[in-house]
Structure 1
Amino acid sequence: MKASLHASGVLVDEVGSCADINRATAQRLDVLQGLREGTILLKFATLVDGTLLSARAADESAEWELAIERNRLVRRVTVDGGISSFLDAEDADRLNDGRDHDVAVVVGPRGTSIFLDGYELFTATDVSFFEALGELGALEVGREGVPEVSHLTIRSDVLTPRGVLAHTEETRPLVEFAAERLADRDARRCAELSVGSLRARFRVRGRHQGGVILQGGLAKQDPGQHAVTLRIDSGDLRYSVTAGGRTLVDVVAPGNWDDGGWHDIVVTSGYGATTIYVDGFQVGRAPGVAFFRDVADVDVVTVGMDIDGSRLFGEASTAMVFDQILSDAQVKRLSMVDPLDTNALFDTGMLGSVSYRIPSLLRTQSGVLIAGADQRTAIANDSPNHINFVIRRSLDDGATWEDLQTVISSPGEGPKGASVIDSLLVEDRSTGRIVVLIDHFPGGVGQPNSALGTGFNDAGRLLLTDDDGDEHELQEDGQVLRGDGTPTEYRVETDGTVLLSGEKQGNIWDSTSHPPLRPLLSCYLWMVTSDDDGETWSDPVDITPQVKQPWMRFLGTSPGSGIQIEKGPYAGRLVMPVYYNREENITFSAAVVYSDDGGTTWCLGGSPNDEREIDGQTVHSRTLSYDAASLHESTVFEAENGELVLLMRNQNSSGRVARSRSSDGGQTWGPVDFDPQLTEIFSQPNAVALSTERGRGVVFANASQLLPFRGCGVLRLSYDDGRTWPHNKVFNPRHYVYQSMAQLSDGSIGLLWEREWHGIYFTRIPLSWLEESRQSLTSL
């Protein structure tokens, strides 16, 4: 038996109680020795925190542990009493529900991936596995039977996401329909549920046809006054609960669900919200919970018609009621959604850094993918903080990635170290040169405390101040001149190191090195370039004096991707979105900087906030004091007619992404409106133009809901330059913040995205995944 198991890749396969599994696995430690990659599959249920699986070294000096802590799934490696690796799959919360859950841990050359109920929910670059423990002394599931693990499989092969899904069971319903009505006993069981889920598979006969898909209520009462109702009207799905004529919950998912095709609909109500899913993906969500128990004395539950017998103009082939709040993964499993493949490129602990944030992505003409990130070495915060700019390259469209490369190494360390933050990438197609713009801050400085001014004189020379307050001027060759133009013994190297008669005297950007000369403590805009697809990079060039105005405190990039104009009189222009503030340091305005010579020189364009009419007043970015008009990070794309479209983060009460157009290559902008289809929660947006079989398209992505954390990453596709977004799909319904996209060689979308605290990930998304969705998610 052992030989046949091993030959198939299965090393351990045990079913039973925790005690049964532990007795069996105690005899199998020999086949697990030195395991450096493979797959763990287990099924568990619990009401409390606890260890799911623990592997310990024979001398007990090290432990590999998979556990539930604070109702979340974690994986920890401990060596000599200290934690050497810790993965927190924070989106796997609410696991202490007493229900069966399937967990898979896959460790392979790309890192570690954790799956819950069939779908990947966390991935990391860390590859710690049993091999790290040396001689294996013990393998144990569920300490003292808590959690209760009922099935454990350990394999030597690295299962794919589809392979993991094949080992995951569907969640079983409380009751299932076998006719148009539930039996009386089953209806009474439903009546006791204060939270839970509904599922139905249905179709209607054509456009604008509809009716009730599922309803529960009282046989002798008006269903408009007392009922749980799931219905379709004019293509939209609606779940509502009324009791005593009062509406408790009413959630609408706008769409075209009356297309004549079969759709799998799930409604969950619990954990403070009611959510509608179609074909495995979230399409509607609103705060508030109501279910059968909120309608007193429910005694009839129907499918394909209402409780009075009025039938759906279509049919329902199956329906179920669950006495649990199904997770996103459990819903996907019911609909057999094909899993997407994600791998971590930058994550917590990688090369000793605490955090990586702010993704930027570019696919060059030669097919090289360049993924950029902030490397936040000591703490996860924005500037002020020590932050480097790093990249990873892929030569095979994202299948594999080269090792991390540091492009800009900032001097100093910790919260007072210098920083570069918010990278923005573009390629000049005429030369193949890659251009990166990035914010640069001296140690101890960030956007909130940037000093007023550019830090340069009228000749474009960096100004440096000594301990006596005397001003000096830095020359291009590194020489330092006094204010009267006489030379000093100081020189400053390209990395900021100060030399006095050849001796190092600290670094102008690092306050902790106590340099004798210091720049203005403000923000600067740097540029680095590459002429070999990111294999090597130039030294940074400071373009601040070209674009920042003396009345600005902050001028920085809107991170992600820039563009090169393809059509019209401005063809060849590089356009990079930025935003800035002024003396009062409160309000912000979006704009672009542009270059007509491949990045040699740059100009700052006007802002959509210049002479903007809003709320009965006219504002201008130079004097802006009305925060409802603030425009922050943005993303730009070129429309079919050559106009530029700017989509902007904001805090306006509209709750929608701001939008403006330019017909002169970003020099000036037209009126600002708010796109009714693009929800806005004050988080960075990204858009990229696509070439498709249907013609030119634009895909837009952002975090679209406060949960209350930033999350619910949604991708939206337009074929009319962003005037409408008919194809929308939720990519990640939980933690999701910034992103950057590029089109890959096969037409699919390369999505580089972040969870904010845990890292930056790359997912390949087929265009068909997005096109198959045919609804406008105005509520997501």
Structure 2
Amino acid sequence: MAYESSVPYRAGTEGYTSFRIPAVVRARSGHLLAFAEGRVSSAADSGTIHIVLKRSADAGRTWGPLQVVARNGNGTAGNPAPVVLDSGRVLLLQVHNAADATEDRIRRGRVPPADGRRVWLQHSDDDGASWSPPREITDQAKLPQWRWYATGPGHALQLRHGPYTGRLLVPANHSTPPTDPQDSGTEPRYNGGHALLSDDDGATWRIGYTDSYSYSHSHSGGDSDTDRSVAPNETTAAELPDGSVYLNARNEAAAAWRRVDAVSTDGGEHLVRPFRPQAGLAGPAVQGSALHLGDRGALLFSGPAHPAARALMTLRTSRDGGLTWRTAHTVGGLPAAYSDLVRLDRHSVGLLYETGDFSAYSTITFRRIPVEEPT
């Protein structure tokens, strides 16, 4: 099936060597806001990186000029995690670090806290046309022991059903220090997942559930350690019609289980059980995106479906809250990597994803995909 598509970001244009890490939300006005990392001098995950934005007033068919939303001097501002509030305000969570603070150095504990991963927040009250200065919330969002840290990437949630209506939930991940001083701290088992929660529209934040193998949780939101075969990394979340939250994460610990999932029934404070393998979502180690279509709709997941390579972007669907999955649409057989989903209208969703003819990182493309509605 052919889909209507556009290309908001193309590598090597508009002053950037590479664009990566897509995130998309629909503003209250209907404008689409497509965020990405604009990597200035290379495609590497560290260095001078800006958070950039393009807006669309016609459901992603065309895009306005590039806006730089966040800079961090010559360092990194990245991992955009936007959410649209009921008031119309758009919040954008993000992470900053020094230009030379690579993930490997951070995980090994070789970066001072001031140069490591720190959490910031911005907002817009005009559908993304202008933005507040970034405000740091690291002391509320990150435990002192954590080393690596990332928000999302991809859209966050404002819960709309049940007793936690109005709560903001931002899926995130972290790494923990090794218990053995001789260990580097770079092993997959030191990855963990957690949620950031706010009950006052982002004025204050706290850590909700945490799930990791090696860290002994010491705060009130901590959950029991997960199994050695599971190391949650980049996480996506979707609210189900009963108000529970479905969480799906990239797994770094076991090659056989690249996706793991969990459910929270108390608004992200705790997990019903630790993350466990989800064999119904086969694919490589990569970020993915989850989106629920509403009371009678399905739960969707986007991500590459090739068993080993970042390729074959596919939309999969679940009618039982993420227990089982089937393929809904194969978007294309080309290389493809990170993605984010957004509801456009009753009949379609938008998919913002990394893809290209020979590399998954040549463009960030937007596609409009029809969805099945129950009769």
**Equivalent residues of 2:230, 2:277 under 8 A apart:** no
CA-atom RMSD in angstroms: 2.5
**Equivalent residues of 1:450, 1:521 under 8 A apart:** no
State the 1:746 CA deviation: 4.8
CA distance in 2, matches of 1:560, 1:576: 9
**Equivalent residues of 1:346, 1:760 under 8 A apart:** yes
Residue 653 to residue 727, structure 1, CA distance change in 2 (3 Å): closer
1:433 aligns with 2:89: yes
Give CA deviations for 1:16-62 in whole Å, capped at 9, x if unaligned: xxxxxxxxxxxxxxxxxxxxxxxxxxxxxxxxxxxxxxxxxxxxxxx
Among 669, 685, 691, the residue aligned to 2:288: 685
1:424 paired residue number: 81
Q: Greater helix share, 1 or 2? A: 1
**Equivalent residues of 2:312, 2:334 under 8 A apart:** yes
**Equivalent residues of 1:348, 1:354 under 8 A apart:** yes
2:210 paired residue number: 607
CA distance in 1, matches of 2:43, 2:193: 26
1:443 paired residue number: 99
1:579 aligns with 2:173: yes
Question: For 1:467-616, what aligned pairs fall within 5 Å after superposition?
Answer: 520-584=114-178, 585-586=185-186, 587-609=190-212
State the 1:533 CA deviation: 0.6
1:363 aligns with 2:26: yes
1:346 aligns with 2:9: yes
Alignment TM-score, normalising by the size of structure 2: 0.87
**Equivalent residues of 1:437, 1:525 under 8 A apart:** yes
1:647 maps to amino acid: N
Q: Greater strand share, 1 or 2? A: 1
Residue 673 to residue 340, structure 1, CA distance change in 2 (3 Å): same
Structure with max Cα Rg = 1
CA distance in 2, matches of 1:419, 1:728: 36
1:494 paired residue number: none
CA distance in 1, matches of 2:41, 2:132: 26
SS in 2 for 1:397: coil
CA distance in 1, matches of 2:11, 2:228: 35
1:590 maps to amino acid: G
Compare relative contact order (CA 8 Å, sep 6+) and give the higher one, 1 or 2: 2
Question: For 1:736-747, what aligned pairs fall within 5 Å after superposition?
Answer: 736-747=336-347
1:669 aligns with 2:271: yes
1:410 aligns with 2:72: yes
SS in 2 for 1:590: strand
State the 1:606 CA deviation: 2.1
State the 1:727 CA deviation: 4.5
**Equivalent residues of 2:6, 2:61 under 8 A apart:** no
Among 44, 54, 59, the residue aligned to 1:397: 59
State the 1:723 CA deviation: 2.4
State the 1:726 CA deviation: 3.8
**Equivalent residues of 2:305, 2:311 under 8 A apart:** yes
2:143 maps to amino acid: Q
Give CA deviations for 1:611-638 in whole Å, capped at 9, x if unaligned: xxxxxxx975679798633111111111
Alignment TM-score, normalising by the size of structure 1: 0.43
1:700 paired residue number: 301
In structure 2, runs of 5+ residues without a counterpart are 179-184, 219-223
1:749 paired residue number: 349
1:646 aligns with 2:247: yes
CA distance in 1, matches of 2:217, 2:330: 35
**Equivalent residues of 1:608, 1:670 under 8 A apart:** no
In structure 1, runs of 5+ residues without a counterpart are 1-337, 413-417, 456-517, 611-617, 772-780
1:715 maps to amino acid: L
1:378 paired residue number: 41
Question: For 1:163-182, what aligned pairs fall within 5 Å after superposition?
Answer: none
State the 1:341 CA deviation: 2.5
SS in 2 for 1:520: helix
Among 300, 311, 325, the residue aligned to 1:725: 325
